[in-house]
Amino acid sequence: MCVGTPVKITETRMVHRVSTRPRLPEHISQVVLKVAQRCNLNCSYCYVYNRGDDSWRTRPTYLSPRVAHTLAQRIKEHCARHGDTSFTVELHGGEPLLLGRARMQRLVDVVRTGAAPVNIHFTLQTNGTLLDVDWLEFFARNRISFGLSLDGPPEIADRQRVTRSGDGSTQRVLDNVAALRAHGHLFDQVFGGCLCVVDPTQNGAELVDWFVEQGFTAFDFLLPDGNQANLPDGWTGVEPYTRFLLEAFDHWYTLSAPPRVRLFELMLLGLMGERPVLDGLGGDLRGLCVVESDGSIGAHDVMRMCGGVFSQDTLTVFENSFDDHAEAYRIDAIQQPSATCTSCPWFDACGGGYLPHRFDGASFDNPSLYCTALFALAERMHRALHDDLPSVVWADSQPIEMSG
């Protein structure tokens, strides 16, 4: 199986340096909007509540109309300055559905009206515990696509994804999804896929099959947030994550009708010359910022676990433009990959990994905490492509050469 249009690949292209490729946009095109600072779950690995940053405690529980109105004006000004006609706002938390439909409707209306003529594309990430048909219809009516945080079957996922009282949450989410699927095309119209945080005690191949059996056709694997200065809970080394990813990829690659797994697809495309733009694979973080419920403008929210300037609130939508963001957090400087990464033959696949995972307590000039896992995965992918592609290299009866 190959991803996308079959292409012919040369060995030189496999290790071709990304520096020769077009650069990504260097200004903000997406805001992660923290519409709710509270959550009805207490996931053990959560970077918001359980990785050392307590700033949420002092912020307003919900985003106010004043912040929403000012945000819309900033988006409009920013897009006019850069000649952009569209902008993405990801509704996030905490758990964004705690905001309620009435308040969320006002928020969506204020931002879309205030930012006009800019086209606002709303997305939303939810834990799924509050999903119902009314929310599904709300998303469809307001053209909001949503993603679901789901880590696998209850007997495994509920080790981490628990309520505030310690009860499991996964079966409730699965029941909610089953009820929504009864509305068929409406669910498919607005549902984007699942995000799954890797539990290294699981079998990767079995988890791929579980998602398929549940009817999910698109999902992604996320490595737990952590770095050398702030290791993930239960850390015993990177080897269990390597095993999981290889199990999952090897099985996924052999499926005749595979689900879409973003991590695998993007790394494969990276090996074939299309540099990933995903933040988890070294994507440019100058294009994204976080706006908190009080209007503070922050860097990528996972960066807060690194402390220092990343856990401080120095910018706000009331006093600053989005262009102040990259300079204030020195995004361009700190996200430069280490020499170890740029000299690696698999750099185009993983991009050096997720920036917060590179921190060592003093700098980001390091490979990812998960470097050896990503290296092994890219190496396995390269071997699969090398063995597989010669039999499917033709597109439109002509080979597409990808050298140079």
Is 387 a member of any domain?
no
Residue 100 has a pLDDT of: 98
Long-range contacts of 368-372 (CB under 8 A, 24+ apart): 369/226, 369/227, 369/228, 369/231, 369/238, 370/223, 370/238, 370/241, 371/238, 372/238, 372/242
Please tell me the predicted confidence (pLDDT) of residue 1.
34
Q: Which helix (H) or strand (E) holds 31?
A: strand 30-34
CA 288 to CA 290: how far, in whole Å? 7
List alpha helices for 116-203, DSSP H. Answer: 133-141, 154-157, 170-181, 185-190
Residue 48: give its domain's CATH number. 3.20.20.70
Task: With CA atoms as reference, report the closest residue to 8 among 270, 348, 386, 275.
Answer: 386
Which domain covers residue 280, as residue numbers?
Answer: 22-334
**Residue 390's pLDDT is what?**
65
Question: Is 325 within the bounds of a domain?
Answer: yes
Domain presence at residue 126: yes
> For residue range 80-105, what is the model confidence (pLDDT) as tens digits?
999 999 999 999 999 999 999 999 99
Please report whether residue 313 resides in a domain.
Answer: yes
- With respect to residue 197, please indicate whether it lies within any of the assigned structural domains: yes
**98 falls within a domain:** yes
Residue 403 belongs to a domain: no
Q: What pLDDT was estimated at residue 188?
A: 92
Output the pLDDT for position 391.
Answer: 55
Is 101 part of a structural domain of the chain?
Answer: yes
pLDDT (tens, 9 = 90+) of the chain, 404 residues, equals 333 332 223 332 233 323 333 345 679 999 999 999 999 998 888 877 776 677 778 899 999 999 999 999 999 999 999 999 999 999 999 999 999 999 999 999 999 999 999 999 999 999 999 999 999 999 999 999 999 999 999 999 999 999 988 999 999 999 999 999 988 789 999 999 999 999 999 999 999 999 999 999 999 999 999 999 999 989 999 999 999 999 999 999 999 999 999 999 999 999 988 888 899 999 999 999 999 999 999 988 888 888 888 888 889 999 999 999 988 889 999 999 999 999 999 999 999 999 999 999 999 999 999 999 999 999 999 999 988 876 555 344 333 333 33
Measured distance CA(49)–CA(37) in Å, rounded: 10
Domains contained in the chain, number: 1
Rg from Cα positions in the chain: 21
The answer to whether residues 189 and 145 touch, using CB atoms and an 8 Å cutoff, is no
